[in-house]
Structure 1
Amino acid sequence: MNFDLADLRAFLSVADLGSFRAASDALHLSQSALSRRVDKLEDALGVQLFTRTTRKVELTTVGRAFVHRARNVFNELDSALLGIADVAERLSGEVTLACVPSAVGYFLPSVFEAYHRLYPRIRMRVHDESSSAVLLAVTRGDADFGVTYIGTQESDIDFLPLIEEAFVLACPSSHPFAERESVRWSDLGAHPYIALAQGSGNRFLIDQALAHSTSRPRWIWEVNHVAAL
């Protein structure tokens, strides 16, 4: 049937208040929008729920019977939501997450905060590791799930993309690239750069991007973490 909870709520409001005008004020809807919701519900059910005149609105016999059923729907929904909230409050345990350090500082704090509000009795253990170490932790079962840059061909691990970001070039304001809006990977060949260490997910992705360049840039410093750049 093509109707939703908002249509049921519109019907109950008119039934309780005995007026489309009063119901539209209570629901902060225009009378025409409210009327369309009630019409939609009647069309879906194939019955007339109200008799309407210019002076009053009354429930039909079917409408009076349906009021109780519609109210039960909302009562059951409220009970279900309260039950879920109660279960969430009683859940306890520990979840282990392996993730790259940049994710911990970038977008995970707000996720942790929201998760803790929903499940206050569940503790979160976070292992901030390199991308390869994150994959290894999930593969070995040392972590329940991981957040990393790179994937793998492991058949028993599922991957779900969370965010997509572009690489950006950081250089001094005096550098020839500083005034350019974009730089191609092939443009980097003649310029030395600071590299991330082997084993880093970012290093893996950068090496892949540079693999087809005829002239690869030469690194002159190498660091372990993005923060050190």
Structure 2
Amino acid sequence: MNNDIRYLHSFIAVAEYLNFTKAAEHLHLSQSALSKHIMELEEQLGVQLFIRNHSIVRLTRAGFTLFKEAKNLLDKIDEVLEATRQSQHDVSGKLKIGCPSSSHTFLPKIFRRFCTLYPHITLELRVLQTPMSNNQLYLEELDINFNSYIGHMGKLKSPFKQKEIRRSRLCFLLPIDHAYANKYSLDLHELKQERFILFDQPGFEFSNWFVSKCTEQGFTPNIAHICPEVDSIFLHVASGLGISFFVLDAEYCKMLQSQISVVAMRGDDAYGVAYAVWNTKNKNPAIPLFLNSIN
């Protein structure tokens, strides 16, 4: 079982980075050890998970399917093990947490797990935009905040201590009758003739990132609409008014599969990252307990 868990962690790292060297560095493994993990996992499953040569690494259909489910499986295993270790703890207090509106698919699982481990610590949740929540961290009106960024933006965006808690591949959102709806991955330049529906809110800068990536690939995107709410993006795409992109999320995939096709975006920084952010001057003893619970 321990090997299976290690192999899944290795698989997820390679699927997120699509680069064996970077994934090995992230896991503190040698590249040969990481390659061995992937080969043994492929042998166990009897499928090829990656297509790789000297220039690219990309998921096969089987790899894409495993990637959508593997994180949930590992989260559940970690939850059971941590609950066992912490079952005798009796800690009380309050934790004030800020959340972006686009994180409702993965944060509830984290919160439920923490409440199981520490039933006497009260969670106070607030949905806030990033600039407002960072100011409240500074004033200690929040204990922890969750920020979401794209690609390499994250480390440049916060004056506070950060911990990466989730890394998800970016994906294109296409109408189900789109010519590319059945593809499992696409390069951005393949969609340069499309109308784009983009998500953006103050502090996120997703649209700025997207425009810069299009510019790198030699075209200016036709942005039909910018939406401040995630649900509005889904409505626009399902209605055939344009295409968009978002982070690959198993829960969203299940919700959208009857109306929207989800196709992975290629690129070495085509991923979304969620961070837990906190002010090191805040001495609330519940903060390290919460951070340790999401290891």
TM-score after normalising by structure 2: 0.42
Q: Aligned to 2:197, what secondary structure does the other structure show? A: strand
Contact kept? 1:190, 1:216, Cα under 8 Å: no
Alpha-carbon offset, residue 128 of structure 1: 1.6
Residue matched to 2:237:
none
Task: Give the distance between the partners of 2:184 and 2:202, measured in 1 at CA.
Answer: 30
CA distance in 1, matches of 2:221, 2:158: 35
Q: Tell me if the contact between 2:129 and 2:201 (Cα under 8 Å) persists in the aligned partners.
A: no
Matches within 5 A, 1:1-229: 88-89=89-90, 91-103=91-103, 105-150=104-149, 151=154, 153=156, 157-199=160-202, 201=204, 202-229=206-233
- In the alignment, the residues of structure 2 paired with residue 179 and residue 159 of structure 1 have an alpha-carbon distance, to the nearest angstrom, of 37
Number of aligned residues: 143
**C-alpha distance 131-214 of structure 1, shift in aligned 2 (>3 A):** farther
Unaligned segments of structure 2, at least 5 residues: 1-85, 234-295
User: Given the two structures, how large is their TM-score scaled by the length of structure 1?
Assistant: 0.53
- Partner residue, 2:3: none
* Contact 1:138/1:145, CA 8 A, preserved across alignment: yes
**CA radius of gyration, larger in:** 1
In the TM superposition, residue 124 of structure 1 has moved relative to its aligned partner by 0.9
Quickly say closer, same or farther: Cα 1:197–1:85, change in 2 above 3 A.
closer
The structural deviation recorded for 1:200 is 5.6
d(CA) in 1 for partners of 2:113, 2:148: 23
Looking at structure 1, the residues matched to 117 and 164 of structure 2 have their Cα atoms a distance apart, in angstroms, of: 23
| Displacement of 1:152 | 5.1
Cα distance, 1:154 vs. partner?
7.0
Q: State the one-letter code of the partner of 1:122.
A: I
Q: CA RMSD in A?
A: 2.7
- Cα distance change on mapping 1:183 and 1:154 into 2, 3 Å: closer
Task: Determine which structure has greater relative contact order: mean sequence separation of CA pairs < 8 Å that are 6+ residues apart, divided by chain length.
Answer: 2
Identity %: 17
Q: Offset at 1:216?
A: 2.2
Q: Secondary structure at the match of 1:174?
A: coil
Query: Could you tell me how far apart the structure 1 residues matched to 2:211 and 2:117 are?
Result: 41
1:204 CA drift (Å):
4.7
Unaligned runs of 5+ in 1: 1-83
What is the CA-CA distance between 1:224 and the residue it aligns to? 0.8
Distance 1:93 1:115, change over 3 A: same
SS at match of 1:163: strand
Q: Which has the higher strand share?
A: 2
Change (3 A) 1:185 1:154: closer
Q: Is the 8 A contact 1:191 1:218 kept in 2?
A: yes
